[in-house]
Structure formats: C-alpha cells, structure tokens
Amino acid sequence: MATTKIWPVRSRIDHVINYVLNHDKTENGSFAKTPAEGETLEGLTAYVTQVDKIKQPFFVTGLNCLPETAVQEMKLTKKQYHKEGGILAFHGYQSFAPGEVTPEQAHEIGVKLAKELWGDRFEVIIATHQDRQHLHNHFVLNSVSFKDGKKFYASKATYQEMRDVSDQLCRDYKLRVIEQPKPGKAMHYREWQARQEGEDTWRGLILQDIDDVVKESVTLRQFFFRMRQKGYAFKPNAKYFTLKPPGKERFVRIDRKYPEYSLDKIEARIYAQEKIKRHQPGPGITHQKMKLQGSFQKSKKISGLRGLYLYYCYRLGVFEKKKNQKRDTAHLNFVYREDIRKLEQITEETSFLCHHKMDSLEDLQAFKASTQEKIKAQCIARKQLRNQLRTVKDEPQRSELLNQAAELSVQIKKLRKEVRLCESIEERAVSLREKMNAAKAEAEKSKNEKEVKPIEH
C-alpha cells in the first residue's frame, strides 16, 4: 500500500535536492557488509539497471543523471533549450505503511515507478528516506526534458497515472492498495491508516461527536445546542454546513469529504430515529483518601519539560488505575482527544525526558549538541574503517573490520534517533502548552456560562 503526491518547485533546485539526498535519512545500514562493491561511483549508480542487488552506501539513485552532479546537469538541460524560468522541477513522494516494506524493497519500487513514468525523457533523482516510521521515496524531476526540450506539466491525468502505476507495483509486490469507495473522494493516507488501525483522527472525532449528538437529539435545534455544549462553533447564515471544533482556529466544511454528514441528512437522521438516547453528562470527579508519608513541603515536584509531558500524559489517560483498563476518550476535551493517535510517540518522548532527567530546553539543546558531536566522531571512525577495508586482503581481518563498522552503524542509528526525539520535543512542547491553555480557557468559559444560566432546557 502506497500513497503518492507531486508538486512544482519554483525557487531553487539545489535546496530540494540537498533535502532529498540527506545522508542521515538515506543511509544504507547494511552497506558495511559489502563495502568493496558499494564505494565506487559505478556501484552507486548500478542500482538503475540492477535493482535486485542493493550495494549502495545510500538509498539514492539517479535516472539519466548522477546524484552528485544532478543540479548542474538539470541546469545545463534548461540552458540548452533556453527554458530556465518558470517551474524549475517537480518534487514527488511515495509513502508506504509502517513495517510493510524494507528499505531495499521501497527503493526498488521507487526506481521502477520513476523509470516507468519519466525514465525515457527526464532526469530524475530517487531517494528513500528512513527517518519516519513509514518508509517513503522522494522524487526530484527536472521540468525540462533532455530528449526534446519539452516541459513536464502536472495535471490530474499525470497524477492519476502516477497513482495507477504505483498501485500496480504494489500489487506486483503483494502489498495492499487503497481502494477508494467513490471516485474523486480521496481520503488522506493518515486518516485511512488510522481508520484501519482503529485510531482516531481529528475529522474522525468530529464525526464521532456528530453521531453521538444525533442519537441524543429530538430536533435540529437541540442538535446545535448539544454540539455547542461540546465546544463547537457554527457560522451563522452560512451557505454550507461548517463548524469549528474546540481548539481549532478555522472552520471546516465536513460534508465536502463526507456527503452523508450534510445538514439535510443529519436532520433526516434525527427525525427518522425511533428511539432517542438519553443525554448522559460526563462522569463526576470522585475523591479518594490516601495515606501519605512525609510532607508536601519537603517533596520534590517535577517541573519543566518533564512535568509538562507527565501532566499531558495524565490528561490523555496514560496513567490508569487498573491494568488493561480501556481509556475513556469520549469525555476528553477535543484538544486532548486529537492527540490520542499520537500517544505512542508522546509516551516515548516522555520516557526519554524522564530517563535523562531533562527539565528545560537548555538541557535538551545541550544533550542534542553533545549527541551530534558523538555522531560526527563515530561517522569519522566508521569512514576510517571502510577506508582500511580497501587495502586489507586478509579475510579474518576484513571480517573484524566489518563487524566494527556494523557496530558503529548501530550506535549511530541509536544516537540519530535521540537527536530526532530532541527535535520533536522542541517542536511539541510549545503546542502542548497551547493546547492545555486552550482546554483550560474553554473549561473556565463553560463554567461561567453555567453560572449565568443554571437551568438549561
């Protein structure tokens, strides 16, 4: 199963190619096993014609150009046909489900896709990135053909062809294919995947709230009242049914992708149901008495980043009272419910912060800098081992050097994961604070409204 997308590049080719060729994302971890065949320039480009044997230091392939000189070659093609303006290139990707393919298979499928679509007329760079849970191929396509000087124009037909070829390759490799129930009603891959795995997306949360409120409503007016109780806002006198979930900044027209959730059909569902489910308010807070040793004044409170993440995990229901107790997400604030599908990643970041006892961004940045220095030193050491392999002929000594290089690769991979965690925490910490502030403000607003109107009909 793979999803595809392609879009134009109008600024600079070198920026997008440098991003695509990032060695941290495209490194071949098994390359140390066959260094002699993979370190030459021929070995780097041999994958184009021999895709069944991957012996490259990085999962990068150039069609009709070399990755190292791709920028210069693409510019020369444009200069030759006097087409140096307008759209400079096209950037595309092909994304696979987590754990569905190996890096070798993903790169092999990506090369076949590029050869089928553009291999006879355009210069293309194919790179497989492994920095996410889902492996994905990046394509950089020169906008001018080296064969006839004609430009590549993206349209619905070319994109559909890209999807069709990608789906056929997935079938050839016995992978699942996303079958659209209706033409033109494309569902985002993340949303499709979350539905397959039983997880929630923010759109799915909206649909779930609408379904729950419809079951409790007798009239359309009551439907809007219950939805506002949940924190939703509606555009007055709007042409289409648009709403704004709590914690979101913009209104969304939900019936564009889900026609069955138009206002007319929601109203028909309300009047057609035979049995009305009684509205049940959220569970009240129960207080438990516990015996504690010591005093709160002397206890050390966890604050900073650790405290932020631990409290957020508490709000998401990570810390459960009983084992195997299912989290009740129905009564969570929408702001928190949206992050339920990211729970595994948030929990991993929390464990990372607690393990290293980092409470401030300064500690996090210092740890990240020291880790990057370790990566740099180990990369140099690994490169020296690979250079020794070129001259060593003795098989036992070569085996020892290969084992050392492989061990360094494992350590580098672990350190790079820690760097990615640091970067993710830096980005997420700001959004966590904003979401908690939004949830707090919403709770206070709801409390004030109840004080003003104690009786609601």
Summarize pLDDT for 381-425 with one digit per residue, the tens.
999 988 888 888 888 888 888 888 888 988 999 999 899 989 888
Look at residue 97 in the predicted model and tell me its pLDDT.
85
Query: Per-residue confidence at 452, pLDDT binned at 50, 70, 90?
Result: low
- What is the pLDDT, as a whole number, of residue 447? 66
How does pLDDT run across 153-212, given as a tens digit for each residue? 888 888 889 998 998 999 898 888 876 544 444 555 555 555 544 445 677 788 888 888
Q: Provide the pLDDT for residue 295.
A: 55
pLDDT in tens, 272-318: 887 777 666 655 444 455 555 555 455 456 677 777 777 777 766 66
Residue 129 structure tokens: 């990135």
Beta-carbon-side half-sphere exposure of residue 312 (alpha carbons within 13 Å): 34
Distances (CA, A) of 428 to 304, 353, 388, 433, 434: 14, 13, 43, 9, 10
Residue 31: per-residue pLDDT: 59
Average pLDDT estimate for 230-236: 84
Instruction: Tell me the domains of the chain and their CATH numbers.
Output: 2-179 (3.30.930), 202-272 (no CATH), 304-452 (no CATH)
* CB 312 within 8 Å of CB 436: yes
Give the pLDDT confidence score for residue 111 in this predicted structure.
95
264 vs 106, 270, 311, CA distance in Å?
A: 45, 10, 42
CA 199 to chain CA centroid, Å, is: 15
> In this predicted model, which residue has the larger pLDDT, 50 or 201?
201
Residue 201, CA distances (Å) to 131, 134, 226, 344 in order: 22, 17, 21, 14
pLDDT of residue 60: 93
